[in-house]
Amino acid sequence: MDAVGMSPKAWYQKACERAGFVCDTRQLVAIDELEALWQQLVEFKTKRNQFLGRSLLSPDVPKGLYIWGGVGRGKTFLMDGFYHCLPYRRKRRIHFHNFMAEVHHEMKRLAHEKDPLMALAENIERSTRLLCLDEFHVDDIADAMILGRLLGALLERGVVLLTTSNYPPDGLYPNGLQRQNFLPAIALLKRELKVVHLDSDTDYRMLQMVRDPLFMDARDVQTEQHMQSLFQRLTAGMYSEKDDIHIGSIQIPVIRKAREVVWFDFNKLCGGNHDQSDYLEIAHRYPTVFVSNIPAMSADNGAAARRFTWLIDVLYDNHVKLVASFEVSFDSLYMAGRHDSESQRIASRLTEMQTHRYLALPHHSRGVSLTAETGATT
């Protein structure tokens, strides 16, 4: 669904009209806050364009939002909708762990500066008016020591923050080493951002996954439609088709891709010259992976079968949700191939990956992306 030109409320209303979408009255509270921030940012842009540069008459920068709540409540979905609705070019949306990886990388690059952290804040401010940080969570002493100064510097320079988290500000970095040194950063978040609790009782990510079969028969003419429908619901219609994704220095063709969901054909994913590091980056980047047309594993496709083993191990270890279609019955996946402990392990993991317990596990996301998306002025 193209959100450009819509307000968050209009976008959410459109989403509610789609088949299979559950409109949540508690999400509407967060939508009201996002609508207010959207209006403030649009008004800020209009007013600022009426003045020359950064004159003393420049309007006050709106304050941002800190949205927190349980896993699968729709925080990322709402953030992505807001991001696409906002008619700004200087905006960026990134997972928090990836952001912190970039911070550490850039501070090493700026080590020659008198104050590398302030130099970094100035670089971010030049390219970014709105910074969306998804899954804000502090579990590292090095991150904790940096964040207070960095967030303060960004806010002072007029960067608007929109964050999502599974934790309230006071619940960040619990029992962490030298946590007392992180308390000023918590106070800063509470003072400078409006804290919104998305307290829905429904795990929508889980709801979408458990109501449909995750493993399907590729020979069934309805399978493609079922997979398309589930992909549509998981991504709220915000995806591209027949595209590529960049993994390291290579490109892998995909059937569809969205910010947190990607769909491959088996031959493109396991038939090429890929290694475990490629699959690890995919697992870090995407909480949900679709794979079509998985064949029987045999000596005839031994290299692809080996890569499939790597893929499943990596997806399983990172709690990635798998939706797949098989050219043979799932129970016959290894009938034409070997019956060693490795094949038994993969079959066991595939079975577990369909269970409610596995689907409830939080995604492990430690991916690193050092490429910043910069924009023009606003």
Q: What is the mean pLDDT of the chain?
A: 83
Residue 369 has pLDDT above 60, yes or no: no
23-58 tens-digit pLDDT: 777 888 899 999 999 999 998 888 877 665 555 456
Which structure tokens are listed for 30?
Answer: 């967060």
Q: Which of 47, 134, 152 is CA-nearest to residue 82?
A: 134
Indicate the CATH number of 8-197 among 3.40.50.720, 3.40.50.1970, 3.40.50.300, 1.10.3080.10.
3.40.50.300
- Please, what's the b/e burial string for 237-266 (b: 16 or more CB within 10 A of its CB; e: otherwise)? bbbeeeeebebeeeebebbbbbbbbbbbbb
> Which string of b and e fits 312-327 if b means at least 16 CB within 10 Å?
bbbbbebbbbbbbbbe
What does the pLDDT look like over 169-201, one tens digit per residue? 999 988 788 888 899 999 999 999 999 998 765
Q: State the chain's maximal CA–CA distance in angstroms.
A: 75
Residues of the chain with CATH 3.40.50.300: 8-197
Top CATH class, 204-359: alpha beta
Separation between Cα atoms, residue 302 and residue 308, nearest integer Å: 10
In the chain, the percentage of residues whose pLDDT exceeds 70 is: 85
Q: Is the pLDDT of residue 368 over 50?
A: no
Position 86 scores a pLDDT of 92
Could you give the dihedral angle defined by the CA atoms of residues 120, 245, 258 and 71, in that order, rounded to the nearest 10 degrees? -60
- Segment 96-116 shows an average pLDDT of 90
List own/partner pairs for 50-54 with CB under 8 A and 24 or more apart: none
Indicate if the pLDDT at residue 1 is higher than 70: no
Q: Return the bridge partners of 265, or none.
A: 292
For the segment 63-85, what is each residue's pLDDT rounded down to a tens digit? 899 999 876 677 888 898 899 99
